[in-house]
Chains A and B, each alone.
Chain A
Amino acid sequence: MDLNARIPEGPIAEKWDRHRFEMKLVNPANKRKFTVIVVGTGLAGGAAAATLAELGYHVDCFCFQDSPRRAHSIAAQGGINAAKNYQNDGDSIYRLFYDTVKGGDFRAREANVYRLAQVSVNIIDQCVAQGVPFAREYGGTLSNRSFGGAQVSRTFYARGQTGQQLLLGAYQALERQIGLGTVKMYPRTEMLDLVVINGHARGIVVRDLLTGEVRAHAADAVVLATGGYGNVFYLSTNAKGSNVTATYRAYKRGAGFANPCFTQIHPTCIPVSGHYQSKLTLMSESLRNDGRVWVPKQKGDARRPQDIPEDERDYYLERRYPSFGNLVPRDVASRAAKQACDEGRGVGPSKMAVYLDFADAIKRLTQKGVADRYGNLFEMYERITGENPYATPMRIYPAVHYTMGGLWVDYNLMSTVPGLHVIGEANFSDHGANRLGASALMQGLADGYFILPYTIGNYLATAKQPKVSADHPEFKRSIAEVNAQTSRLLSINGKHSVDEFHRELGLVMWDHCGMARNEAGLKKALGLIPEIRERFWKEVRVPGVGAEFNQNLEKAGRVADFLEFGELMCLDALTRDESCGGHFREEHQMDDGEAKRDDERFAHAAVWEYKGPGQAPALHKEQLEFEHVHLATRVYT
C-alpha cells in the first residue's frame, strides 16, 4: 500500500502556495467534460459539490436524506474556528496550527494542519458573503468567543446553531448550481459500493431508496464526504442515519482505513434515561465557558444539588486543571467525568452524570444574560429532561460524538485508490487523536471549498484515464453483488430486529473500546463481535421487499457493515499499545491519570488494508514527523 503523503517541499508556510502553483490545471473549456461524483452533502460534500460546479465540472451529487439540507453537519452547535485575530488577543495562523497539532496529541500530519489554519480565514469571508447570519457586536463587526481548549477567542458562531447556518449556506450554493443544471442531485439515494477499474475509482453503485432500484453511476473521479462512524456505538450524538457504509465499502475495494480507533467522546451530553434510548443529545461545550462542573465530595451523596453546601462540592476540573479549569480539551474533561462516576460520586437517577452548574453565571450575568448566550440550549435541555436548568444544575455525561479516524488521504485528500478523494469527517483528517472544539466545521468547509476543488483538478489533469460508462462489466458485477446481499438480508426471516443486534454491538464497543480501553477488554470484544455478527446473519428479520421504500433494509445493510467495522476498530485499539488523545489505554497512563504516549513506537498513522473475507487486515504505517510543534506531553494544569 503506497502511503506517500506527497507533502510539498519548502517551508511549512509556503507549502500550499507552492503546491497550488505546481499542480496541473484543467483548461476551463475542458472542465465540463469531466464528471465528478460527490457522495454526502454536509459541510464538506455540499461545499465541494457547489464549488466544483462553479468551476465548470459536471457534478453528480448523492445523499441518503430526503434533502441535502438535512446532512448531519446541521446539528453542530457551538461554532467554527478561524485565525482571524479580530479580537487582537494574539491569535495567528501559526497559533491555530500549533493548538490543533498539540490538541490532537501529536497524531496528525503537520503540513495538512498548517494548510487548514491558513484557509480558515477564507472560510469566514466566504460564509459572510453567502449571508450566513453570524453573531455580531453592536459596532457591526463579527463576534467571537473562546471555545473548549483554546486560550484565544477565535470561534465564530450563529447562536447555538452554527452548523445549521453554515450548512444552509453551502446548501443554498448547491441548490443554486442544481438550478443552473451543473449539479444533478440524487436525494434519498445511498451509495453501496465503489467501483474501481484499472486501479482507479470510476464510479459508485447506489440504491434508490424510494424505488429500491440498484444502479451504477460512472465518473472521472469520486469524492466521499460521508461523515463519521460514531454510530458503531449505537448510542452517540450522531444522527440516526449516520453510518460507515460508504467508507467501509471503499475500504473493501482497496482504500486504506487510518486510525479507526480514534473516537471522540464529548463531555457535555444529556445522560441516558432508559433502555429505549435511541440517541444521545449533545449540549454545546460553549456551556463550559460559564457553567461549572462539579460532583459531591462524598460518595453516594443523595441530597438535591441545592442542598449540598459549597464546601462539600468538588469542582474537579477547576481543582485539577487550574489554568484551563472547565475549558480543558474534550478527552480530558470526559475522562475526568468518568473517573468521578467510577468513584461513586455520580449524580442523578442513574448515578452516571455530573453537574454543570450555572448558578454563579446567573449571579454574574443575570438570568437574561445567560439566556442571551445559551437560551436555546437551556430550552432543549428542559424539553428532553423536564427539568429547568436555570433553577437546578444540568446533569451531563460524556457521549460518543466524532470520529477522528477515517479513510487515509494524502496531502491532496486522495485515498490509496487513485481518483477516490475523501473529505470532512470521513477522512482521517487533521485532528490526530483528539479534535478541538469548533474545528470540525472548519475542516469540513476547508476541504470542501478551498482544498479539494484545487487538488482534484490536478488528478483529473494527470490521470489520463479512458472514459467508462455504467455498462462496464465491473459495474454489472458490483450491482450483482449488492443485489445478492439484499436478497440474503431479506431471506433470513429470523426472530430479532436489526436494532437488537445494533444495541448489542454498541454495548460491547462502549464497554471495551469506549472512553477507556485495555488489552483484556479489547481481546474480549474481538471474540464477541464475530459471534454477534454470526447470529445477525442467522437470526435477523428484515421485513418487506427490496423493490420498495424499505427503511428496515437500509438499516440492516448499515448494521451489517458496523458489525465488521467494529472488529477493525478494536483491532486498531489493541495494536496501538499507547494512550493518546481520545484513545486511552489504561495500561499507559501518568501518575495523575493522564494519557501517556509512546512516540518511539506510535508516532504514526496506522493504516489498515482489507485482505478479503475472513482474512486479517494488513497494517501499514505512515510515520509522522514533527518539525514545528515539538513532541511534548500535553499539560493543561
Chain B
Amino acid sequence: MSGSSAATMKLTLRIWRQKDGKAAGKLETYKLDAVSPDMSFLEMLDVLNEQLTKSGGDPVSFDHDCREGICGACSMVINGRPHGPRKATTTCQLHMRSFKDGDTITIEPWRAAPFPVIKDLSVSRSSFDRIIAAGGFVSINTGSTVDGNATPIGKTDADEAMDYAQCIGCGACVAACPNAAAMLFTGAKVAHLVKLPQGQVERSGRVRNMVAQMDLEGFGSCTNHGECSEACPKEIPFDAIVMLNREYMRATVAGKE
C-alpha cells in the first residue's frame, strides 16, 4: 500500500507572478523542501503561500474551491500542460507523487486573450458564462413541465448526453489549443442538448447564437489539433467539435430550424 510514504521531496518552483491585468508578469523562482508525495498540488502551493506569508512576502493568487475535481475553478498550466501531467485530472486532484525529488516545476496561468489575467495564476473566464447565456439552455420556465417519465429517452442517448454534460467549464481546452478555440466547451453543451428531445425545439438558434458569441469573445477557430480533448480533465470527446460543426452547418447552410 502506498498510504503515506515517509520520503519527502525538494522542489524548485518557477511561478508566474503578475500584479494585475495591466502589469507585465514574469516567472519567479522558489525553493520548497519537505514536500510529501501524498499532498495535492494545491496543498503544495498552500505550504509555499504559508511560508511567503510568514516571511513577509506576497502569497501567490490562484483560483480553487471544491478541491475535488468538479467545480472547475482551478486552472494552472503545469510544465506546459493545462492541469499538469496526469490524464483526466484537474490540478486540485493532481498529487505530488506524480513528481520526483529534485524536480523543477513551471506554473503559469491559462494563456488566452478571452481569459485575461487578474493576478498571478487567476484569470477571468466570464466569456464562458456569456457563451452559455447566448443559448446554452432549454427555454423552459419553472413549472411549465410534463411528468418526468412522459418522454422516454433511450439509455444510450441519455448516457451520451451525460458524457458531454460533464464539462466543468475550467477552460483547459482553450488553454491547450494553439488557436485558443472554445469549440470543445461550446460543442459539449450543444452536443449534450442535441442528444435529448428537450433540446430539439431550439436546436438551430442555440448553435447559431452560441457560435456567434464565441467569435465575439475572441476565441479562435479549430484546426483539428485535438489538444483540447487531450487536456480535458473530464475527457469530453473530440466528437463534440464534430457535432458542433455539423449542427452549425445544419442551422446555417441548410437553414433548418
Type the 1/0 row for B76-120, where 1 means its CB is closer than 8 Å to any CB of A.
000000000010110001010100000000000000000000110
B133 touches A66 (CB 8 A): no
A126 touches B93 (CB 8 A): no
For this complex, into which size category does the number of interface residues on chain A fall? 35 or more
Number of residues on chain B facing chain A (CB within 8 A): 84
Given A122-B143, A138-B155, A349-B3, A128 contacting B148 (CB threshold 8 A): yes
Tell me the complex Cα distance, A566–B64, Å: 25
Q: Determine whether A67 belongs to the interface, using a CB cutoff of 8 Å to chain B.
A: yes
B148 touches A130 (CB 8 A): no
Q: Determine whether B36 belongs to the interface, using a CB cutoff of 8 Å to chain A.
A: yes
Tell me the complex Cα distance, A134–B52, Å: 46
B4 touches A273 (CB 8 A): yes
Q: Which residue of A lies closest to B122 (CB)?
A: A549
Cβ of B168: which chain A residues have Cβ within 8 Å of it?
164
Residue in B4, B39, B89, B124 with the greatest tally of chain A CB atoms within 10 Å: B4
Type the 1/0 row for A51-77, where 1 means its CB is closer than 8 Å to any CB of B.
100100000000001111110101100
Q: Which residue of A lies closest to B97 (CB)?
A: A386
A380 touches B161 (CB 8 A): no
A541 touches B53 (CB 8 A): yes
Q: Determine whether B126 belongs to the interface, using a CB cutoff of 8 Å to chain A.
A: yes
Q: Which of B57, B72, B155 contacts A543 (CB 8 A)?
A: B57
Q: Which of B20, B53, B153, B166 contacts A497 (CB 8 A)?
A: B53
Cβ of A308: which chain B residues have Cβ within 8 Å of it?
none
Interface 9-residue window, one of A5-13, A14-22, A170-178, A482-490: A170-178
**Could you tell me the dominant secondary structure of chain B's interface residues?**
loop
Q: Which of A130, A133, A241, A541 contacts B140 (CB 8 A)?
A: A130
Given A136-B158, A142-B148, A552-B59, A173 contacting B137 (CB threshold 8 A): yes
Cβ of B159: which chain A residues have Cβ within 8 Å of it?
133, 136
A549 touches B20 (CB 8 A): yes
Cβ of A138: which chain B residues have Cβ within 8 Å of it?
154-155
A133 touches B161 (CB 8 A): yes
A66 touches B125 (CB 8 A): yes
Type the 1/0 row for A32-57, where 1 means its CB is closer than 8 Å to any CB of B.
00000000000000010011001000
A70 touches B65 (CB 8 A): yes
Tell me the complex Cα distance, A384–B2, Å: 11
Given A133-B196, A179-B133, A544-B58, A499 contacting B46 (CB threshold 8 A): yes
Cβ of A543: which chain B residues have Cβ within 8 Å of it?
52-53, 57-59
Tell me the complex Cα distance, A129–B192, Å: 13
Tell me the complex Cα distance, A282–B67, Å: 11
A499 touches B50 (CB 8 A): yes
Tell me the complex Cα distance, A122–B142, Å: 9
B→A interface (CB under 8 Å): 1-4, 20, 36, 38-40, 42-43, 46-47, 49-50, 52-54, 56-59, 61, 63-73, 86, 88-89, 93, 95, 97, 118-119, 122, 124-126, 128-129, 132-134, 136-149, 151-155, 158-159, 161-162, 165-166, 168-169, 192-193, 195-196, 198-199
5 contacts between A and B (CB under 8 A): A74-B70, A131-B161, A142-B148, A380-B93, A543-B57
In the complex, besides A240-B64, A543-B58, 12 extra interface pairs with C-beta distance below 8 angstroms are: A67-B169, A69-B72, A72-B66, A129-B144, A133-B161, A178-B129, A239-B71, A273-B36, A279-B67, A383-B89, A384-B93, A544-B58
